[in-house]
Structures are given as C-alpha cells and as structure tokens.
C-alpha cells in the first residue's frame, strides 16, 4: 500500500467519522404499518379517505431532531366514506385529475422536516417546521408532532391542516372563485398521520 493510497484511505475514514454524530439513530419508515388519513369539507358535507406513505426516514440524536423526509404516493388516494364503489371511484378519479392533484404528472408529494422544537404541550411533543411539496410547489408548514421511542422503534403522530390553494389546488375554492355562492369546497384539508419507524 503506497503512501498516497494510505493518505486517501485515511482521509475518507476521517470524513466518515466526522459525518456521523455520536448517538445519532436513523429510523426508517415502515410504509405498510403507517397511515395518512385525509378529510375535506364542503358546504353540503365532507369526504375522507387515505393515501399511502411510500418511504421515509427520521434521524434523532437522543431525543433531538436531526433530519426527516417522507414521500407520499399520491396515486394511492382512496375514498372511504362513499359506499357505492362506482361513486367512490368517480371521486377518486376526480381527485387524481388536473382539478385537484394531477397525479399523472405529480405522482409523489414530499414532506421535508427542517426542525422540531420540543413542546409546548406534554412530554414527547414537538412543533415541526417542514417544507411540503405538492404538484411541484413547495410551501412551509408547521404542525404538532408526538414522537414516542422505545427499544424496538418509534411512532410519530401528527395532525396537519393545510390550505390547498397554496399548492394550486383551487377547484371550487370560494377564495379564488367568488361567484360559487354556497356550492364551494373549503380550502382547508385535514391530514391525520401516524408513521411507524424502525432503526
């Protein structure tokens, strides 16, 4: 082993050690054990359903947040409140087209967490700040997170409310189309998230 090769190998080893933070644990999201439930409201009622988590990671150093990123499979949207299969599929097809999420062009959404600040509620709760990308449009959001860890993994739960118009999902939005009268869909969408994680 010549001196140059030893120097390169030693440098790479040092960089590897420096890039790993002591006590840092990287968790992988278990997609099949995780759930994302959506709810949208209109003047005459509401609809709800699920969308699948595709993948994700969360890195912690003890209880301190390091990084987090989660990919959502937008093509997996379902409707659970309409019992007639044909009617439910009609709504799902509409949610997938250009009026809503245009999943043919934008099959994935991304949540990249930038920071998680402890509190202000009970233990194991945080306020998360993240970039949410839908339809190629990125906006910053904040939401409460409860994060519980144990010897075998972790569970993160969150209730997220977003204004869909910020991601150009404007179908029947009264704030965009003022002539809709009472036939509008509210801008806020509600997401109930539970993510199972394993190191």
In this prediction, residue 180 carries a pLDDT of 84
Tell me what pLDDT residue 83 has.
Answer: 96
Average pLDDT for 41-52: 96
Q: What is the pLDDT of residues 102-121, one digit of tens each?
A: 999 999 999 999 999 988 76
Kindly indicate the confidence band of residue 1, based on its pLDDT and cuts at 50, 70 and 90: low
Token pair of 97 as six digits: 């087209």
| HSE toward the beta carbon, residue 191, CA cutoff 13 A | 24
Residues 6+ apart with CB under 8 A from 146: 124, 125, 126, 156, 157, 158
Residue 9 confidence (pLDDT): 44
More confident residue, 150 or 42: 42
53: nearest Cα among 33, 71, 27: 71
pTM equals 0.85
pLDDT at residue 34 tops 90: yes
- Go through the domains of the chain in sequence order and give each one's CATH number: 22-198 (2.40.128.110)
**pLDDT value, residue 66:** 94
Residue 16 has pLDDT above 90, yes or no: no
**Phi then psi for 139, rounded to 5 degrees?**
-135, 150
Question: Kindly report the CA angle at 115 between 111 and 120, in degrees rounded to 5?
Answer: 110
What is the arithmetic mean of pLDDT over 111-134? 91
- Per-residue pLDDT, 22: 56
Least confident of 77-86, 96-105, 170-179, 186-195: 170-179
Mean pLDDT of 1-16: 46
Instruction: Name the average pLDDT for the chain.
Output: 89
Using alpha carbons only, what angle is made at residue 130 by residues 129 and 135, rounded to the nearest 5 degrees?
150
The residues, ordered by sequence, that sit 6+ positions from 168 with a Cβ below 8 Å of its Cβ are: 135, 137
Q: Average of pLDDT values for 155-175?
A: 97
The model's confidence at residue 3, banded by pLDDT at 50, 70 and 90, is low
As a whole-number percent, the residues of the chain with pLDDT over 90 amount to 75
Phi, psi of 18 (to 5 degrees): -70, -30
């Amino acid at each position: 082993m010549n001196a140059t090769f030893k120097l390169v190998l030693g440098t790479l080893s040092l960089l590897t050690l420096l890039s790993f933070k002591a006590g840092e644990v990287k968790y992988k999201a278990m997609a099949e054990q995780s759930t994302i439930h959506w709810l949208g409201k209109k003047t005459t009622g509401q609809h709800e359903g699920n969308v699948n988590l595709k993948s994700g990671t969360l890195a912690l150093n003890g209880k301190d947040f390091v990084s987090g990123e989660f990919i959502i499979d937008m093509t997996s949207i379902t409707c659970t409140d309409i019992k007639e299969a044909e009617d439910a599929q009609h709504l799902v097809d509409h949610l997938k087209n250009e009026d809503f999420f245009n999943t043919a062009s934008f099959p994935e959404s991304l949540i990249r967490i930038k920071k998680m600040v402890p509190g202000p509620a009970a233990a194991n709760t945080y306020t998360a700040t993240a970039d949410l990308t839908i339809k190629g449009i990125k906006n910053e959001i904040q939401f409460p997170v409860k994060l519980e860890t144990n010897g075998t993994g972790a569970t993160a739960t969150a209730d997220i409310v977003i204004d869909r118009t910020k991601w150009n999902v404007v179908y029947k939005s009264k704030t965009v189309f003022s002539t809709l009268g009472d036939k509008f869909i509210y801008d806020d969408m509600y997401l109930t998230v539970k993510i199972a994680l394993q190191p």
